[in-house]
Amino acid sequence: MTSLILSAATRLILPLMMLFSVFLLLRGHNDPGGGFVGGLVAAAAFALYAIAYGVDRAREAIRIGTIPLIGIGLLLAFLSGMVPLFGNRPFLTAVWTNLSLPIIGRVNTVLVFDTGVYLVVVGVTLTVIFAMAEADIEEDEED
């Protein structure tokens, strides 16, 4: 059973939640927020989409599988920790570049690490949510 009100509200809320999750990600290395909280907000947005439209359409909306998302996030987090080793510094030491971007500010390894955490949290959370939703659907079909 789908709700017209939920479907219409989800179309409006999803982009706002994603924008807010990116805001939390970008401000997290200086203020409260970061990859974990931003990732949870993004996962909640797609979970809401899955409730409104179904798991299959939510998977299509993400455009990348949740497992590859976890792998990409882990790789980003690991690579951000490796960068300081080239400067003879300890693993996961923050390194800033001279490159400054308009919204982000100075590019640094902290933001890369937070982005990796963001992707891992989105991937793990959605993997669990989608698996539970699909198991519930299968259980309903058996009854």
The model's pLDDT over 26-53, given as tens digits with 9 standing for 90+, comes to 887 667 778 999 999 999 999 999 999 9
pTM of this structure: 0.90
What domain count does the chain have? 1
Question: For the chain, how long is the longest CA-to-CA vector?
Answer: 62
Report yes or no: 133 and 59 within 8 Å, Cβ to Cβ: no
Residue ranges making up the domain that contains 8 = 4-142
Helix (H) or strand (E) holding 107: strand 105-108
The pLDDT tens digits for 72-119 are 999 999 999 999 999 999 998 999 888 888 888 888 898 899 999 999
